Each structure stands twice: as structure tokens, then as C-alpha cells.
Amino acid sequence: MESNKKRGSFTGSLGFVLAAAGSAVGLGNLWRFPYLAAKDGGGLFLVIYLVLALTFGFALMTAEVAMGRNTQKSPVMAFTTVAGKKWSFVGWGATIVPAIILPYYAVIGGWVCKYAFTYVTGHGRNAVDAEGGYFYKVIGLTADGSIDWIPVLWFFIFLFATFVIVYFGVENGIEKASKILMPALLILIIFIAGYSTFVKDPVSGRTAMDGLKIYLVPNFSGLTVTKFLSIVLDAMSQLFYSLSLAMGIMITYGSYMKKDSSMPKSINQIEIFDTGIAILAGFIMIPTVFCFLGTEGLSKAGPSLMFIALPQVFNGMGTFGLVVGALFFVLVIFAALTSCVSIMEAVTSTIMDRFNLTRQKAVVITFASALVLGFIVCLGYNKWLFSATFANVAGGQILDIFDWVTNSFLMPIVAIFTCIVVGYVWGTDKALGEVQLNGEKFPRRKLFVVMTKYVSPVLLVVILLNSFGIFG
């Protein structure tokens, strides 16, 4: 078994908060959150999201961080320690999730790097293609099925950058990188959000302020019970994935948290960081996209919003829009990199603990496996291109399958069992003892117990059923 010294630890609360917030703030905040907010009634979605962040998300994060710091171990050994060997399968599930996510997340990170390179080198107008032609080139989609090595190269660059940070350890790698990347990310997103809210389209006459109203003012028109439940499910799913829950990450980062750090204060800060940046991302996306592309532009989701709609928006801003575009994609690189680091660390930490290996050997194994699987994901857009339809996925490729298996299937299951372990096996009293280890006040103590033991498991079952299209 690894000693704490060998595993490493954060130097203090700030290091933990920035690293954990960096994990939470990722691609989901920057492209999925704004799209859902626009689709689900703007301000109404925001209110529901905030309520769930303070209840559902808070309880799950607290449970995972408490287990991590209490055991000072990675997911598999953490569950074994608090609940016995028969519950170790939950830890393995929490390890398999990031092991599958890592390669395809790095592939998407490679796409972002390619777009950033295009804008930074002054060729941003090349990315403007309403039909998505440039995006298809970036992902390596070929008509004849031949392998395009450019996406593979960018995927490798992004994955290697992640590898280097994790290789140098908790304090010298993850913490130092987070202390640079997170403040830079915050400055960039505040600047771009501030600038974006004052642009105007000279052709249509629409202003970003018009889009801001759509984003912030609740829209109750056509609201039914079914529609309201759909919005709640969207907000709940977004929050679940946004906070890096059921991926072993918060358990792992919690295990690096020093005993004298205030856990309630740190968790509050992570919530503020994650939710704040997600809301600021909406300030960038929704007002500008509406301004230049109208409501049709806001209907785009995922890759279409970031890689196809936004380049059109930056182009519509004129010359300075190309500068904004460059800054934006650099911002996304920072967000994606901090998240990818946490994903790789969750896998690396488990390998270190379970097989008693050094960090260097464990991270090389993690890197090599992700390299192979990521290459397979890249081939999914050319050599091994196919279209799969299952559950609530239509026309999916290899990346979509990986994403559904982890985000829609495994993560809810892992989270359900985490609630069972913390709520009934280990016990909420022991979890609360860890949270209040230094005598800290914990105002949401009763809320944590109720959510962990009763409410969260039910909500998670609903999320799992919804992933199979049962509710829509």
C-alpha cells in the first residue's frame, strides 16, 4: 500500500479547491450548459440548476470528498476501507468510468487545440463554415474511409500535455498547473463574457442584450408539467456530470486533501467556481449566438454550437472577433486540460494504490492505454465509421458509444451505490465526522443526510431511466 507521502497531497485548501474546480469546469460547462439554458427557458433553467447545485450536487460531492479524505486512498481501496471488500466493485466502477472517458475527452481536446491554433495563427476565417465542412476536416471525417492523421496528432499533443502534468505529481504537477490555469481561465472568461454582452449585428439589428434577456429572464410560455420535469432532468443531468461526480475524481482529490483543511468551506468554493463559470459561459454563448444567428443558432447543441456556430459569430464581430475567437479557444483548452488532468489522475491513483506502483510507472500505463483507445476513437470518423442507434442515441459513432456507456449508464449506477455505501454502510454519521473533523460548522448537515440517504438515490434512478429514453 502506498504511503501518503508517496501518493502526495495538496499544500493547502487553495490547491485542493483550484484542482477540484478545474476538474469540474470542463467542456460540459462551456458548450452543454449554455445550450440547455437556451433550450429550457433561460432563467427558469438557471433557477432550477442553482437549487439542485445547493442540494443534489452538494450532497454527492460532500460524500465523495469525505470518503477520500477519511481513507487517504483512491476509489477502489476507499470503498474497500469504509465498506469492506464486497463493496470494492463500486470503486472499480468509479475507476472504469474515467478510464473510458480519458481517451475520447483527449480527442475532443485535440479538436479544441486545432481550432485554437487556427485562430492564434490568424486563420480564423478558415473555420467559418455554416455547413460544418471545416469541423468535419478537423475531426478527420473522410469520404473514402482513409485515415486522417491530423486529428491523431492533435489528440496526441493534448494527451501528452495532460500526461506531463500528472507525471510530476500532486503538488508539483496538478496543483501548480491548476494555480496557473484556473486564474487565467477565470480572467479570460470574464473578459470575453463582458465583451460579448455589448456586441451588435449590423445586418439584423439584434444586440447581445436581446440574447441576454433570453438567458436570464425565465420563460414560462408553453410550460407544462411534462416540460417542467424535462427541464429538471436536464439541469440534474448537467449538474451531475459538471461536478465530476461518480468518476472517482472527487474521492481521489479528497484523498490528497490535508486533514486540517476546512472541507465545508472548500466544497462551497468549488460549487461557486463551477456554477459561476458555467453561468459566465452562458454570457458568452447565448447573447452572441442569438445576436448573429438568431433563435436558429441557439438550437444547436454540443459540437455544432462550439465548432460551427461560434466561428460564424466571431466572424460577424469583424477583425476583433478573430482575437476574441483565439482567446475563447485558448480558454476552452485551459478548461479541457484541467478536467482531463483530473480524469487521468483518478485512473493513475488507483493503479498506484492497487498494484503498489510508483506514480511514474502508473501514469505511463494510463497514458499508453488512453493512447490506444483514443486512436480507436479517431478511427471512428474515417476507417471505422458507422452509425449506431440505441437507447436515446441516434447515429452515434465510437465516441458517442463511449460517452453513453460512461455518462448515461455507469456514472448513475456508481453514484447510486455511493449513496448506499455512504448513507447506510459506512454511515452518514462517520461521513459527517470527517466533514467536521476540525470542529467546523456545517449548516447543511441535515440536508446532506436527507439527500444522501433518500432523495439523491431516487433522482439518480430517474437519471438512469431517462438515459434509456423512458421519460421522453
Domains and CATH numbers, the chain: 4-466 (1.10.4160)
pLDDT for the residue 151 = 97
Residue 466's Cα: distance from chain center in Å? 20
Per-residue pLDDT of 272-329, as tens digits, reads 888 888 888 888 888 888 899 888 887 776 678 889 888 999 998 888 889 999 999 9
Q: What is the arithmetic mean of pLDDT over 140-152?
A: 93
Categorize the per-residue pLDDT at 7 as very low, low, confident or very high, splitting at 50, 70 and 90: low
Instruction: Report the predicted TM-score, pTM, of the whole model to 2 decimal places.
Output: 0.93
Q: Is the pLDDT of residue 401 over 50?
A: yes
**pLDDT value at 189 more than 70:** yes
User: Tens digits of per-residue pLDDT, 252-280?
Assistant: 999 999 999 999 999 999 988 888 888 88
As a whole number, mean pLDDT of residues 424-436 equals 97
Over 60: is that where the pLDDT of 230 sits?
Answer: yes
pLDDT at 16: 85
| Mean pLDDT value across residues 384-392 | 87
pLDDT tens readout for residues 336-376: 999 999 999 999 999 999 999 999 999 999 999 999 999 99
Q: What pLDDT band is residue 229 in, cutting at 50, 70 and 90?
A: confident
Phi, psi (degrees; rounded to nearest 5) at 396: -85, 150
Give the Cα separation of 148 and 378 in Å (integer).
Answer: 9
Interval 4-21 mean pLDDT: 77
Rounded-to-integer distance, Cα 405 and Cα 87, Å: 21
Q: What is the pLDDT of residue 353?
A: 92
For 112-135, b/e burial (b = at least 16 CB within 10 A) is: bbbbbebbbeeebeebbeeebebb
Mean of pLDDT values over 27-32: 80
27 band by pLDDT with thresholds 50, 70 and 90: confident
Q: What SS3 string covers the chain?
A: CCCHHHHCCCCCHHHHHHHHHHHHCCHHHHHHHHHHHHHCCEHHHHHHHHHHHHHHHHHHHHHHHHHHHHHCCCHHHHHHHHHCHHHHHHHHHHHHHHHHHHHHHHHHHHHHHHHHHHHHCCCHHHHCCCCCHHHHHHHCCCCCCCCCHHHHHHHHHHHHHHHHHHHCCHHHHHHHHHHHHHHHHHHHHHHHHHHHCCCECCCCCCEHHHHHHHHHCECCCCCCHHHHHHHHHHHHHHHHHHCCCCCCHHHHHHHCCCCCCCHHHHHHHHHHHHHHHHHHHHHHHHHHHHHHHHHHHHCCCCHHHHHHHHHHHHHHCCHHHHHHHHHHHHHHHHHHHHHHHHHHHHHHHHHHHHHCCCHHHHHHHHHHHHHHHHHHHHHCCCCCCCCEEECCEEEECHHHHHHHHHHHHHHHHHHHHHHHHHHHHCCHHHHHHHHCCCCCCCCCHHHHHHHHHHHHHHHHHHHHHHCCCCCC
pLDDT at res. 4: 45
* Of the candidate ranges 154-168, 181-195, 447-461, the one whose mean pLDDT is the lowest: 181-195
Q: How far apart are CA 237 and CA 160, in angstroms?
A: 30
CA dist 361 and 348 (Å) reads 9
Neighbouring C-alpha atoms within 13 Å toward the C-beta of 82: 34
What mean pLDDT do residues 236-242 have? 81
C-alpha cell at 425: 454502510
Percent of the chain beyond pLDDT 70?
98
471 band by pLDDT with thresholds 50, 70 and 90: low
pLDDT at 378: 97
**Residues 6+ away with beta carbon under 8 Å from 3:** none
Tell me the Ramachandran region of residue 206: left when phi exceeds 0, alpha when psi lies from -120 to 50, beta otherwise: beta
Rounded mean pLDDT, 185-203: 89
| pLDDT tier at 408, thresholds 50, 70, 90 | confident
pLDDT recorded at residue 469: 78
Q: How far apart are CA 388 and CA 255, in angstroms?
A: 39
pLDDT number for residue 87: 97
User: Is the model's pLDDT at 3 over the cut of 70?
Assistant: no
Average pLDDT, the chain: 90
Output the pLDDT for position 2: 41
Determine the pLDDT at residue 5.
45
Cα–Cα nearest to 437, from 261, 267, 268, 269: 261
Report the pLDDT value the prediction gives residue 472, as an integer from 0 to 100. Answer: 57
